[in-house]
């Protein structure tokens, strides 16, 4: 698959160079950097900006694109004794999803489980996660309720972000825990909300009750780690 943007491309070059097949560059590099990249095991190709725009579907490639190995997804049974997981319930914006994965990796979450969507656009998620998706175990299971049941049987406490939840600052989250984040517009489905052990929310300082789901996820993850 093709990813683009300097940050995700360089993340893979520095941390997972074996996953890079070809690096495409449409801007001038200083001689030292060009020589360093030429010595690496992947192929380095210069391409005109028009070709780079086409490869990135007019996205902001910043002069860097790479053909890389596909993102390997996990199954729940593959996870190695996770203590803290985040479950995305019907989040459809791949930019939000990538940002959540990036925060989850930075904050020490053990896995991100994606549910409620059929198509997982890996290229977009890798880019918006700044490459962190390659280091965060990601599970894609369509059925949210099956995932909740499996986690419950495995001893997880199910926390879910809701408008009327308990202020996360006043809770002590210990043991195996799963944070469930709902769809950008509709939140957690009612049937799933009824299965939660604890409802959580972020108390606002001002009269405003809406945060972007990736921002809210990061705040809750930080409070729960």
- Round the average pLDDT of the chain to a whole number and report it: 96
* pTM confidence score: 0.94
Query: Which pLDDT score is estimated for 110?
Result: 98
- Is residue 193's pLDDT more than 80? yes
By the 8 A CB rule, do 83 and 109 touch? no
Query: Which pLDDT score is estimated for 210?
Result: 78
Query: Which pLDDT score is estimated for 81?
Result: 93
153: tokens are: 């049987």
Instruction: Give the other-Cβ count within 10 Å of 183's Cβ.
Output: 17
**How many domains, in total, are found in the chain?**
2
Q: How confident is the model at residue 183 (pLDDT cuts 50, 70, 90)?
A: very high
Is there a single domain that holds both residue 142 and residue 61? no
- Is residue 207's pLDDT more than 90? no
Query: Which pLDDT score is estimated for 88?
Result: 98
Q: How confident is the model at residue 127 (pLDDT cuts 50, 70, 90)?
A: very high
Is there a single domain that holds both residue 59 and residue 116? no
Domain end position, chosen among 39, 68, 97: 68
Instruction: Give the other-Cβ count within 10 Å of 29's Cβ.
Output: 16
Chain segment 89-111, per-residue pLDDT in tens: 999 999 999 999 999 999 999 99
Is there a single domain that holds both residue 61 and residue 81? no
Is there a single domain that holds both residue 80 and residue 188? yes
Instruction: Give the torsion sign (CA, 75, 77, 81, 85).
Output: positive
Which of 223, 218, 221, 222 has its CA nearest to residue 168?
223
Q: Long-range pairs for 79-82 at CB < 8 Å and ≥24 separation?
A: 79/110, 79/111, 79/137, 79/139, 82/110, 82/111, 82/137, 82/176
Is there a single domain that holds both residue 197 and residue 137? yes
Query: Which pLDDT score is estimated for 209?
Result: 73
CATH number at residue 149: 3.40.1280.10
Domain hosting residue 129, numbered range? 76-224
Chain segment 39-83, per-residue pLDDT in tens: 999 999 999 999 999 999 989 999 999 999 999 999 999 999 999
Domain end position, chosen among 68, 90, 113: 68
Is there a single domain that holds both residue 87 and residue 57? no
Is there a single domain that holds both residue 94 and residue 57? no
Query: Which pLDDT score is estimated for 208?
Result: 80
Query: Which pLDDT score is estimated for 102?
Result: 98
């Amino acid at each position: 698959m093709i990813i683009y943007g300097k940050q995700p491309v360089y993340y893979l070059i520095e941390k997972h160079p074996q996953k890079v097949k070809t690096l495409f560059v449409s801007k001038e590099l200083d001689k030292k950097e060009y020589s360093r990249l030429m010595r690496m095991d992947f192929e380095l190709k210069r391409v005109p900006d028009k070709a780079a725009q086409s490869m990135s579907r007019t996205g902001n490639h910043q002069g860097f694109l790479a053909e890389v190995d596909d993102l390997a997804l996990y199954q729940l049974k593959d996870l190695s004794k996770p203590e803290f997981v985040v479950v995305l319930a019907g989040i459809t914006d791949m930019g939000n999803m990538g940002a959540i994965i990036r925060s989850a990796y930075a904050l020490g979450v053990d896995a991100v489980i994606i549910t409620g969507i059929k198509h997982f656009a890996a290229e977009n998620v890798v880019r918006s996660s700044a490459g962190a998706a390659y280091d965060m175990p990601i599970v894609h299971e369509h059925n949210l309720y099956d995932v909740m049941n499996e986690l419950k049987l495995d001893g997880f406490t199910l926390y879910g972000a809701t408008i009327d939840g308990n202020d996360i600052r006043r809770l002590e989250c210990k043991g195996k825990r799963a944070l469930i984040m709902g769809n950008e517009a509709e939140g957690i489905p009612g049937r799933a909300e009824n299965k939660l052990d604890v409802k959580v929310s972020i108390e606002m300082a001002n009269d405003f009750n809406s945060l972007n789901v990736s921002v809210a996820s990061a705040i809750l993850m930080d409070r729960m780690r």
